[in-house]
């Protein structure tokens, strides 16, 4: 049978759980967001009655169609199914552009995801921004409870703000979206964001001293969420500080001197 791409249905959940279990050492978030994503431009690729792939388009502020959740079951990789899903999402993005819903498509990927990077370059995407994501072990910091505070536009010191692995441009519209999807914490006058679901932190005050002050508070939030590890997302400009950042107890997943998170963009409407 020919593979079929269709909207995800509740009965697909066991298939998605299997794919998630076999992705990123079983740490994939896909199964956790399944119920939330249903009915919101969440698609699956079905072959012979089995769901073997997924893809999602999320509408972000600034008329951005954010591509995420592109997965193919390990047993079916290397057969062009990822390209098929990617092409389908491009066509969906173009449809949304004609309807005035989006002006561009964007997505983020890890620097070693060569297949996704090559696919993006072949289909007209370019790198919009680069970030470093570093890991940390909760137990290595003495957790200190931070203060939960209300987010204001002046708190958004970055032009492109990571909320987990989604990235939003600084704007009033983005402010409302970030308030819905993330929490802002204050510790010693320094602020950081974290998604309401997840433990990838975004410091809004960048520097070795400020990061050192924030790490125990991040560890507290991670511990409260039952996580033994957490991640910190930093803009590419911190590259000269990497040796000092590592001495603070953060580590790169894979050794590199260059940013390991790439944010891609493809314009669908002339700007």
Give the CATH number for residue 46: 3.40.630.30
Residue whose pair of structure tokens reads 């930093």 in the numeric block: 234
C-alpha dist (Å) from residue 232 to 9, 33, 70, 134: 34, 21, 23, 5
pLDDT of 193 higher than 60: yes
75 and 197 together in one domain: no
Closest CA to 167 of 195, 187, 191: 195
pTM comes to: 0.93
Of 102, 119, 154, which marks where a domain is finished?
Answer: 102
What's the distance, CA 217 to chain centroid?
A: 22
Contacts of 242 by beta carbon, 8 Å cutoff, 6+ apart: 132, 257
pLDDT of residue 15: 95
Q: How many domains does the chain have?
A: 2
DSSP three-state, residue 190: strand
Spell out the residues 6+ positions from residue 153 whose beta carbon is closer than 8 angstroms to its own. Answer: 170, 172, 175
Q: Is residue 147 part of a domain?
A: yes
Question: Residue 72: which domain range?
Answer: 4-102
Instruction: Please report where in the chains the tokens 């990061």 appear, as a residue.
Output: 211
Query: Based on the domain organization, do 170 and 256 belong to the same domain?
Result: yes
Report whether pLDDT(271) > 80. Answer: no
Please determine, for residue 155, whether its predicted confidence score (pLDDT) is greater than 70.
yes
Phi, psi of 233 (to 5 degrees): -105, 125
Of the given ranges (23-27, 139-143, 260-264), which has the lowest mean pLDDT? 23-27
Is residue 224 domain-resident? yes
Q: What is the pLDDT of residue 255?
A: 87
pLDDT tens digits along 60-112 = 999 999 999 999 999 998 899 999 999 999 999 999 999 999 999 999 999 99
């Amino acid at each position: 049978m020919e593979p079929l791409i269709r909207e995800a249905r509740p009965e697909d959940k066991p298939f998605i759980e299997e794919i998630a279990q076999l992705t990123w050492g079983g740490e994939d978030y896909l199964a956790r967001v399944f119920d939330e994503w249903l009915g919101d431009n969440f698609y699956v690729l079905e072959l012979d009655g089995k769901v073997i792939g997924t893809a999602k388009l999320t509408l972000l502020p600034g008329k951005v169609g954010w591509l995420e959740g592109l997965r193919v079951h390990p047993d079916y990789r290397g057969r062009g199914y990822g390209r098929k899903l990617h092409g389908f999402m491009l066509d969906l993005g173009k449809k949304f552009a004609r309807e005035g819903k989006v002006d561009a498509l964007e997505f983020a990927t890890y620097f070693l995801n060569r297949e996704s990077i090559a696919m993006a370059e072949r289909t007209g995407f370019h790198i919009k921004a680069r970030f470093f994501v570093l890991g940390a072990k909760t137990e290595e910091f003495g957790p200190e409870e931070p203060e939960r505070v209300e987010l204001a536009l002046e708190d958004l010191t970055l032009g492109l703000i990571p909320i987990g692995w989604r990235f939003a441009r600084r704007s009033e519209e983005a402010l409302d979206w970030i308030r819905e999807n993330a929490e802002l914490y204050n510790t010693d006058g320094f602020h950081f964001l974290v998604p309401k679901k997840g433990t990838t932190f975004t410091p809004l005050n960048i520097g070795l001293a400020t990061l050192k002050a924030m790490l125990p508070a991040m560890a507290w939030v991670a511990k409260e969420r039952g996580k033994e590890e957490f991640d910190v997302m930093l803009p590419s400009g911190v590259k000269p500080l990497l040796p000092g950042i590592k001495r603070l107890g953060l580590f790169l997943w894979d050794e590199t001197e260059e940013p390991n998170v790439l944010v891609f963009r493809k314009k669908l409407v002339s700007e």
